[in-house]
Amino acid sequence: MSIFDRSPQARTAALLSPPFLYSLLLLALPLVAIVLISFWTQTGLDFDTTFTLANYRAIFTQPQYILGNAQNWGVIPVSLFVSATVTAITVVLAYPVAYFVSFVVDPSRKSLWLFLITIPFWSSYLIRVFLWKVILGFNGVINTGLQALGVIREPLEFLLYNLASVIITMAHAYAVFAILPIYVALEKIDRSLLEASQDLGESRFSTFLRVTLPLSVPGIVGAVLIVFIPTIGDYVTPQLMLGAGGRLVANTIQTQFFKGNDAPLGAALSIVTMLMVGIISLVFLFLNRRWLRGRS
Amino acid sequence: MNVQSKPPATPLIQLRGIHKHYGDYHALRGIDLEIRQGEFFSLLGPSGCGKTTLLRTIAGFEQPSSGQLVIDGKDMSGVPPNHRPTNMVFQSYAIFPHLTVAENVGFGLRRDPRPKEQRARAVAEALEMVGLGGYGNRAAHALSGGQRQRVALARALILKPKVLLLDEPLSALDKKLRENMQVELIRLQRNVGITFILVTHDQEEALVMSDRIAVMFEGAIGQMADPETLYRRPNSRRVAEFIGKMNLLPAEVGMEGNRIVVEVAGLGRGAVEPDQAPGGVIEGNSTVGIRPETLSLLFPGETTDRRVAEGVVDEVVYYGDMTYYDVRIPGVEEPLTISMKNLIGRPVLDVGTPTKVAWDERSLVVLSR
């Protein structure tokens, strides 16, 4: 008997069980494990499983994680700052591109344009990060180019191994993720609304501010979440672009699990970061829902 | 006899030789039109006839390829929609989904110099006028089709435009609501005194609502007249067929002195007045039209001094108040459609019943074109 002959409930269960098992094994179980471990203590290669809040206490009291000191911010605030900046830059740059494809490009050419926008995905993320190193590096494209033109004598050192290089790399890598949701939101806008606005006395620009922009807010919120959440967790880019000393929260966690040999602290850091990202995302979702309800 | 013969000093809207090309497609082919202040004017035609393009040209969403558009004495070439004294009710109503009803209606008042309270009062009055008093704080997406249409109307009328443009505003409503809205729109137009231009493909709607109608085919105006003239004296076969039901009969048309003589196959010979040939006379093989309600069946016992042809009932369509009969008459190619009121004591005839059809040459229209 094939699954199509059974009751709708049985069919639903049969169709959903493989992905459900998959997410149970690869998402829920590791998450539960992380939560458990965050309340344990590392003893060499083993765990002391007595319940303790010591890891969380360390995160909230030691300066390197949240509080910071006179010279440096804590690693979590810095990471939030980097992600927020990347998100802002990405969304601001993605909006005109999405707008162009939705409003200017001939309808028959739109899918071609979307295809062109996804071309960066044809090379691996790691290679794209390395390419930015080649462009921004001490002997990179920008420095040798400027030197050859005689603009600078010594290579610029501020290009690589700092937060700016992380932000540039990530903003480029995540651009597509921001363009697509904004594009979809713009596509959904009934074009007669724009004509109605003009008919009621607004110029093209004020029509954009009063109609197009507010109606594309769901797409902007989607883009913000899609960029913000993964950039917090990205540890490859900071690892490669910050050099030996640089740390953002993602590679700090990675270090705790491996080199630092303190999985419970890493787990606790993960939980704290996850909660912060969760709260920020909820705020955005809430704003979005308020917006969609119609403000009165 | 023609309504156009007594226009006031200057019409509110003048279109002269308006052409519109989209690539190879010739959407408007030389439109000449004058619309008076306070008139309820309709653009009527089948889909693709250019009526919406013409309306959008007046609104400023389309630029004519050639020709001149003057509104209220000002040439409109190069004037964008936001600087024209026109407002539009869109077919989709184009209600802003992110705003409340009141914010929608007040959308165009941003540059209004009046203080906030007065503008709010104007919005409330506009909503009152379209029968939506107290709906101001509702979310726009929670409205029904009829309510959306009222919001769109209030939103346009609050700006007191010189001309209100309506693009098939009733086509999305069900029949009952549509008929109510027709009456309401007429009343509203009389109250505000604003010139209305309505685009519709519904001939009945145009006849009910308009002072004057331009019937358009393939980018050109086929006939422009008041509803009664249009119905009774169509100037071509196309107009006759588009508006109402019309029996078209092949006929021989000739002139005897200044009398027009028609020989209708199967019915006979008769003379008609010049105004019964509004499209002009082309002698020879031609067509005449006759409306179903100007023909009548002779029920048993009835007599008439009109001319009579004998035939057989071919088809019966019962509408309650009326019955439509198709009657086959020897020598007439197509059966004649005849509508009869279902008066007391009048039976509904069965298919196959032999019957007599009374007709009158005064109700013929010569349709040479």
Residues pairing with B263 in the sheet? B252, B269
Domain count, chain A: 1
Identify all chain A residues contacting B90, using CB atoms and an 8 Å cutoff. Answer: 192, 195-196
**What mean pLDDT comes out for the span A60-66?**
88
B263 CB neighbour count, 10 Å cutoff: 15
**Domain-located, residue A46:** no
User: In this predicted structure, what is the pLDDT of residue B52?
Assistant: 94
Question: Do B108 and A215 make contact, defined as CB atoms within 8 angstroms?
Answer: no
- Give pLDDT tens digits for B318-362: 999 999 999 999 888 889 999 999 988 888 889 999 999 999 988
H-helix or E-strand spanning residue A87: helix A75-99
- Give pLDDT tens digits for A267-296: 999 999 999 999 999 998 888 787 665 443
| Residue B39 and residue B211 in contact, taking contact as beta carbons nearer than 8 Å | yes
**Domain-located, residue A215:** yes
**Domain-located, residue A166:** yes
> CA-to-CA distance for B362 and B252, rounded, in angstroms?
17
Residues pairing with B13 in the sheet? B35, B71
**Domain-located, residue A128:** yes
Find, in chain A, the residue whose alpha carbon is nearest to that of B99: A294
Sketch out chain B's domains with CATH numbers. 3-235 (3.40.50.300), 245-366 (2.40.50.140)
User: In this predicted structure, what is the pLDDT of residue B109?
Assistant: 94
| Residue A207 and residue A197 in contact, taking contact as beta carbons nearer than 8 Å | yes
Token output for A224: 């913000």
- Give pLDDT tens digits for B143-190: 988 899 999 999 999 999 999 999 999 888 888 888 888 998 999 999
Question: Do A203 and B61 make contact, defined as CB atoms within 8 angstroms?
Answer: no
Question: Do A200 and B155 make contact, defined as CB atoms within 8 angstroms?
Answer: yes
**What mean pLDDT comes out for the span A188-204?**
95
Give A228→chain B minimum CA distance, Å. Answer: 26
Token output for B356: 């007599």
**What mean pLDDT comes out for the span B307-315?**
91
Name residues 202-221 of chain A within 8 A of B (Cβ).
202-203, 210-211, 214-215
Given a cut of 50, whether residue B297 has pLDDT beyond it is: yes
Among A214, A215, A294, whose Cβ lies nearest the Cβ of B100? A294
Given a cut of 70, whether residue B8 has pLDDT beyond it is: no
- Give pLDDT tens digits for B37-84: 999 999 999 999 999 999 999 999 999 999 999 999 999 999 999 999
Given a cut of 80, whether residue A47 has pLDDT beyond it is: yes
Question: Which residue range forms the structural domain that includes residue A232?
Answer: 74-293
Given a cut of 50, whether residue B2 has pLDDT beyond it is: no
User: In this predicted structure, what is the pLDDT of residue B7?
Assistant: 47
Question: Do B97 and A199 make contact, defined as CB atoms within 8 angstroms?
Answer: no
User: In this predicted structure, what is the pLDDT of residue A4?
Assistant: 64
User: In this predicted structure, what is the pLDDT of residue B4?
Assistant: 47
- Give pLDDT tens digits for A111-138: 999 999 988 888 898 999 989 988 888 8
No. of H helices and E strands in chain A? 16, 2
Smallest Cα–Cα separation from A192: which of B103, B106, B93, B104? B93
Token output for A13: 């269960």
Smallest Cα–Cα separation from B200: which of B189, B186, B213? B213
Given a cut of 90, whether residue A245 has pLDDT beyond it is: no
- Give pLDDT tens digits for B202-261: 999 999 999 999 999 999 999 999 999 999 999 999 999 999 999 999 988 888 887 888
First to last CA, chain A: 56
**What mean pLDDT comes out for the span A192-216?**
95
Residue B304's pLDDT band, with cuts at 50, 70 and 90, is confident
**What mean pLDDT comes out for the span A88-93?**
96
Q: Assign residue A270 the CATH number of its domain.
A: 1.10.3720.10
State pTM to two decimals: 0.83
Strands of the B212-217 sheet, one edge to the other: B86-89, B163-167, B195-200, B40-44, B212-217, B220-225
**What mean pLDDT comes out for the span A87-92?**
96
| Residue B340 and residue B348 in contact, taking contact as beta carbons nearer than 8 Å | no
Identify all chain B residues contacting A189, using CB atoms and an 8 Å cutoff. Answer: none
Find, in chain B, the residue whose alpha carbon is nearest to that of A203: B82
What is residue B277's three-state secondary structure?
coil
User: In this predicted structure, what is the pLDDT of residue A2?
Assistant: 64
**Domain-located, residue A201:** yes
